[in-house]
């Protein structure tokens, strides 16, 4: 059966086309205006929208509705209610009111709140976000909503994101007015988040308690072949994986998600999906749905999708590249250099605003990607370092150097690149190469923030990115609005800001050890771990920034700080307890069983022939016994130190203790167990090996 993608795409979404078809014209226009201008929705309009939405959903097979929201757990949440309403005589009718559409009331007490809610203070509200379309999933009408407490504090990831988009819109429009643009009504940020993931056979996943409980392998010796040959990268997609990708595309297309690119990544069993750009708010919703669908569809194919940043030590981890840009409501990309970027003053001002923002708030950007999982990945050979820097490429770097020096720059023409075979076409050569080692790289008409971990909601990084750029634009507008000579003031502003912030620009190898020294000389921040980064959340500079732009209150920042600290040490505690359990229940037993077998072999030889040598068995037994003794010693140390962790008084002390003590204990225990795995025969070893997992999908 032929699949017609245009008919399939968005078929389960109450999108603009559906609303235009099903809503009265006046209601449709009012709803559009509400969405585009950020106005409050009137109840009479909501009632009409709700009725149309319910009828459409029922036609699609939906029986329930839910307010779909994104609490600070990092995943989505939903409470389902049916459309049924009782009628006399034991009958029911299907109803859905405007009040039910606009507002919900889930229990707020059990979600992470960082002290914003006490357990006995249960009331919380969900409020419909009309900028993100409702959709149907699992026969349920899902209504994207914000989530707030009884007293109005944001308890979710969506509310601050909408606030940050509003802040950047306000400041960007101020700047555009200075350039004489009176037509633009709104400026939006857009994102295209690339998503990396692993696929393994469910049969091996189910035999690994560490994957089940923590999402990553806590033990595992390296297989004979990993990613050394890089033959998996962009390689032929296996039929089983191809079938999975095909169904995943279809499920995402139904939900209006612009899944575009799919390919094998560098590590065995690793893959990537990339969408077309969407408005940041919608892109965030869609990325959450993408991760959910990746897991759901994998199960239908007998596979498990792993989204942890580093599920397998020693091979590439998974990131999420956040491709970010700024556009007007007319579709103009404000980060588009044009044919002659040196003559594009508006582009240069917005470019400089981003450079300034990244330099001024580099610690905040590092914080935005901090998590226990991402600590395993940042700084490894497949990921940017924890040091934040900006890659511009040679041409733009030359342009801003010329501005700083006050000299003319002549834009370079694109050359035609000859590949050497006459049958092949001449290809226009870009004026600059790409840099895959940079955490924040300009890639033509957008910035690619490459430090995000694969499990992360893209909301947090984009809240910070939007807000810090809004602050730069605000400062620029303050200066230029007072200028008598705009052109002269603009020239001086660009020169001063580039001179002040050029230290953040680095076009070299971000993976090289020499960059660490160079960054230190430049005075750049190097917050190596999540625990180092999190206190930035509650610094006066941070509180002032977010308060000025109405994105976070001081209380909301303090809450997020506490939540992330608790999440960090709880994750490490779960990992430590899982290691202890696996070691005690299975690995210790396997080690002893192996030694008993060797002892029996030695005794059998001696019984058969008292003079017979047992040098091989005795040597193996000695090595196994030494490793087992070391394992027991390190296990006991880990158990003791985990118990001591409960005695710490504050969340920050606990987090630091887990990083400095418990995490090191875990690494020490893993080291000896990975040695044991190589020694003990496979028929005795209790868990699937790295080789068996990474090559489990045939």
In a domain? residue 560: no
Alpha-carbon span 90 to 557, nearest angstrom: 51
Say which residues have a Cβ less than 8 Å from residue 512's Cβ, sequence separation at least 6. none
Angle at 545 between CA 543 and CA 547, to 5 degrees: 65
In a domain? residue 416: no
Same domain, yes or no: 545 and 637: no
Confidence of residue 117 (pLDDT cuts 50, 70, 90): low
Same domain, yes or no: 78 and 197: no
Strands of 73-205 (E only): list them: 80-82, 84-87, 91-94, 103-104, 124-128, 134-137, 140-149, 187-201
The two tokens of residue 151 are: 């007293």
In a domain? residue 255: yes
Same domain, yes or no: 379 and 504: yes
53 near 96, Cβ under 8 Å?
A: yes
pLDDT digits (tens, 9 = 90+) for 597-623: 999 988 888 888 776 667 888 999 999
Strand, helix or coil at 447? Answer: strand
Same domain, yes or no: 493 and 380: yes
Same domain, yes or no: 147 and 171: no
- The CATH number of whichever domain residue 14 belongs to comes to 3.10.20.70
The kind and range of the H/E element at 207 are none
Judge whether residue 115 has pLDDT over 70.
Answer: no
Alpha-carbon span 587 to 576, nearest angstrom: 15
In a domain? residue 304: yes
pLDDT of residue 440: 94
Of 155, 183, 208, which residue sits at a domain end? Answer: 155
In a domain? residue 561: no
Alpha-carbon span 416 to 430, nearest angstrom: 9
Place of tokens 């399939």: 8
Confidence of residue 401 (pLDDT cuts 50, 70, 90): confident
What helix, strand, coil percent values describe the chain, rounded to 5? 50, 15, 35
Judge whether residue 473 has pLDDT over 90.
Answer: yes
pLDDT of residue 74: 80
Closest among 672, 673, 697, 668 to 685, alpha carbons compared: 673
Place of tokens 């010693």: 633
Same domain, yes or no: 59 and 170: no
Same domain, yes or no: 436 and 534: yes
pLDDT digits (tens, 9 = 90+) for 33-79: 887 776 777 888 899 999 999 999 999 999 999 999 998 888 898 88
Region 514-527: mean pLDDT is: 92
Three-state secondary structure readout of 587-616: HHHHHHHHHHHHHHHHHHHHHHCCCCCCHH
Closest among 677, 587, 675, 595 to 632, alpha carbons compared: 587
- The CATH number of whichever domain residue 390 belongs to comes to 3.30.590.10
Same domain, yes or no: 149 and 39: yes
In a domain? residue 333: yes
Alpha-carbon span 644 to 657, nearest angstrom: 9
Of 487, 522, 552, which residue sits at a domain end? Answer: 552
- The CATH number of whichever domain residue 667 belongs to comes to 1.20.120.1560
pLDDT digits (tens, 9 = 90+) for 544-559: 999 999 999 999 999 9
Closest among 32, 23, 145 to 79, alpha carbons compared: 145
The two tokens of residue 157 are: 């990831």
The kind and range of the H/E element at 323 are strand 320-328
- Summary mean pLDDT of the chain: 90
Closest among 685, 691, 581 to 624, alpha carbons compared: 685
The pairing of beta strand 390-391 with beta strand 278-279: unpaired
Which residues span the domain enclosing 679? 568-694
In a domain? residue 330: yes
Region 334-345: mean pLDDT is: 82
Confidence of residue 84 (pLDDT cuts 50, 70, 90): confident
Same domain, yes or no: 112 and 173: no
Same domain, yes or no: 497 and 582: no
Same domain, yes or no: 47 and 173: no
In a domain? residue 222: no
- Say what the pTM is: 0.92
Say which residues have a Cβ less than 8 Å from residue 231's Cβ, sequence separation at least 6. none
How many separate domains does the chain show? 3
pLDDT digits (tens, 9 = 90+) for 211-239: 999 999 999 999 988 887 777 877 889 99
Of 524, 552, 580, which residue sits at a domain end? Answer: 552
Same domain, yes or no: 447 and 303: yes
The kind and range of the H/E element at 663 are helix 663-679
The pairing of beta strand 303-306 with beta strand 415-417: unpaired
Which of the residue ranges 293-307, 344-358, 425-439, 542-556 would you say has the lowest mean pLDDT? Answer: 425-439
pLDDT of residue 419: 46
Please give the DSSP secondary-structure letter assigned to residue 57.
H
């Amino acid at each position: 059966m032929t699949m017609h993608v245009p008919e399939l795409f968005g078929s389960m979404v109450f999108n603009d086309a559906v609303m235009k078809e099903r809503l009265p014209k006046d209601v449709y226009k009012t709803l559009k205006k509400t969405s585009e201008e950020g106005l409050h929705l009137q109840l009479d309009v909501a009632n009409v929208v709700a009725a149309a939405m319910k009828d459409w959903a029922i036609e699609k097979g939906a029986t329930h509705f839910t307010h779909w929201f994104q609490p600070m757990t990092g995943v989505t949440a939903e409470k389902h209610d049916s459309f049924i309403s009782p009628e006399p005589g034991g009958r029911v009718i299907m109803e859905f009111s405007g009040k039910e559409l606009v507002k919900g009331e889930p229990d707020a007490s059990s979600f992470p709140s960082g002290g914003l809610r006490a357990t006995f203070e249960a009331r919380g509200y969900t409020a419909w976000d009309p900028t993100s379309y409702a959709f149907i999933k699992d026969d349920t009408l899902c209504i994207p909503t914000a989530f707030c407490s009884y007293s109005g504090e944001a308890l979710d990831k969506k509310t601050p994101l909408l606030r940050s988009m509003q802040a950047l819109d306000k400041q960007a429009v101020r700047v555009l007015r200075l350039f004489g643009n009176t037509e633009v009504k709104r400026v939006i940020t857009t994102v295209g988040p690339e998503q990396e993931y692993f696929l393994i056979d469910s049969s091996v996943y189910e035999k690994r308690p560490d994957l089940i409980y923590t999402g990553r392998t806590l033990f595992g010796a390296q297989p004979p072949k990993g990613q050394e040959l890089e033959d998996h990268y962009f390689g032929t997609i296996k039929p089983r994986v191809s079938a999975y990708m095909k169904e995943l595309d279809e499920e995402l297309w139904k939900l209006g998600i612009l899944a575009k690119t799919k390919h094998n990544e560098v590590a065995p069993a690793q893959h990537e999906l990339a969408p077309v750009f969407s408005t940041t708010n919608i892109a965030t919703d869609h990325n959450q749905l993408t991760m959910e669908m990746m897991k759901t569809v994998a199960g239908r194919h007998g596979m498990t999708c792993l989204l942890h940043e580093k599920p397998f030590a020693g091979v590439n981890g998974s990131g999420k590249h956040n491709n970010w840009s700024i556009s007007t409501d007319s579709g103009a990309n404000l980060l588009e250099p044009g044919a002659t970027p040196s003559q594009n003053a508006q582009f240069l001002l917005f470019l400089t605003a981003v450079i300034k923002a990244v330099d001024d708030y580099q610690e905040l950007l590092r914080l935005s990607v901090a998590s226990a999982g991402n600590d395993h990945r940042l700084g490894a050979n497949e990921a940017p370092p924890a040091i934040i820097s900006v890659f511009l490429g040679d041409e733009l770097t030359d342009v801003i150097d010329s501005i700083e020096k006050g000299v003319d720059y002549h834009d370079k023409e694109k050359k035609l690149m000859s590949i050497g075979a006459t049958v092949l076409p001449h290809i226009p050569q870009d004026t600059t190469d790409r840099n895959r080692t940079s955490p924040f790289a300009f890639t033509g008409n957008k910035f690619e923030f490459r430090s995000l971990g694969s499990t992360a909601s893209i909301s947090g990084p984009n809240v910070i990115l939007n807000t810090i750029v809004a602050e730069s634009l605000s400062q620029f507008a303050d200066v230029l609005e007072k200028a008598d000579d705009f052109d002269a003031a603009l020239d001086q502003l660009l020169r001063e800001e580039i001179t002040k912030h050029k230290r953040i620009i680095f076009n070299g190898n971000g993976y090289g050890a020499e960059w660490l020294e160079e960054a230190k000389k430049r005075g750049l921040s190097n917050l190596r771990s999540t625990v180092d980064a999190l206190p930035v959340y509650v610094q006066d500079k941070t509180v002032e920034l977010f308060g000025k732009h109405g994105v976070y209150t001081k209380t909301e920042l303090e809450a997020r700080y506490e939540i992330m600290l608790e999440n960090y040490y709880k994750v490490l505690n779960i990992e430590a307890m899982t290691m202890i359990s696996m070691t005690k229940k299975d690995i210790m037993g396997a080690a002893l069983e192996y030694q008993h077998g060797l002892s029996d072999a030695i005794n059998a030889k001696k019984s058969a022939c008292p003079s017979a040598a047992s040098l091989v068995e005795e040597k193996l037994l000695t090595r196994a016994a030494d490793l087992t003794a070391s394992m027991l010693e390190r296990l006991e140390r880990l158990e003791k130190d985990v118990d001591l962790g409960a005695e710490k008084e504050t969340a920050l002390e606990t987090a630091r203790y887990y990083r400095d003590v418990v995490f090191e204990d875990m690494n020490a225990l893993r080291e000896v167990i990975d040695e044991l795995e190589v020694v003990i025969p496979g028929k005795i070893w209790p868990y699937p090996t790295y080789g068996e997992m990474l090559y489990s999908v045939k």
